[in-house]
Amino acid sequence: MENGVPGTNRPVWDSEATNPDQSEQLRVKLAEVVDPEIGLNIIQLGLVRNVRIDTDQTVLKMILTTPFCPYGPAMLEMTRQKAEEALNHPVVIDLGLEPWDFSMMEESLGGEWGLY
């Protein structure tokens, strides 16, 4: 949450500065990965916290909505596969420990659900 405004915690990926075109392709492809319990995609939920595109691989830092998410392993693998499809490049998922909260969602989504 930025300056107390919900939905403004959209992460800025390192790759947006270094590879803006690839970052946009990746964002579109990753929007296909949906959390089956919540019904929103990982981009809308703000689960992809950072992306770094190197010459030999891409490192995608991701968190889950809860550490014990029963769909976590499947979502991580699907995210890796979709990222590799978008970039035609090996991708490694770095599972972060940062706790997820509703303010990480794209702007206006949480409000529509009455979450804030």
Q: Where are the domains of the chain?
A: 15-112
Res. 103 pLDDT band, cuts 50 70 90: confident
Please compute the mean of the pLDDT values over residues 76-84 and round it to a whole number.
98
User: How confident is the model at residue 59, as a pLDDT?
Assistant: 98
In this structure, which topology does domain 15-112 adopt according to CATH? GMP Synthetase; Chain A, domain 3 (3.30.300)
User: How confident is the model at residue 1, as a pLDDT?
Assistant: 42
Closest CA to 45 of 60, 64, 67: 64
Angle between helices 72-87 and 20-30 (to 10 degrees): 140
What is the pLDDT of the chain when averaged over all its residues? Answer: 88
Please determine, for residue 115, whether its predicted confidence score (pLDDT) is greater than 90: no
User: How confident is the model at residue 3, as a pLDDT?
Assistant: 47
Please determine, for residue 22, whether its predicted confidence score (pLDDT) is greater than 90: yes
- Rounded CA separation 10/105 (Å): 7
User: How confident is the model at residue 102, as a pLDDT?
Assistant: 85
Closest CA to 47 of 5, 98, 3: 98
CA dihedral 106, 86, 15, 62 (to 10 degrees): 50
User: How confident is the model at residue 108, as a pLDDT?
Assistant: 63
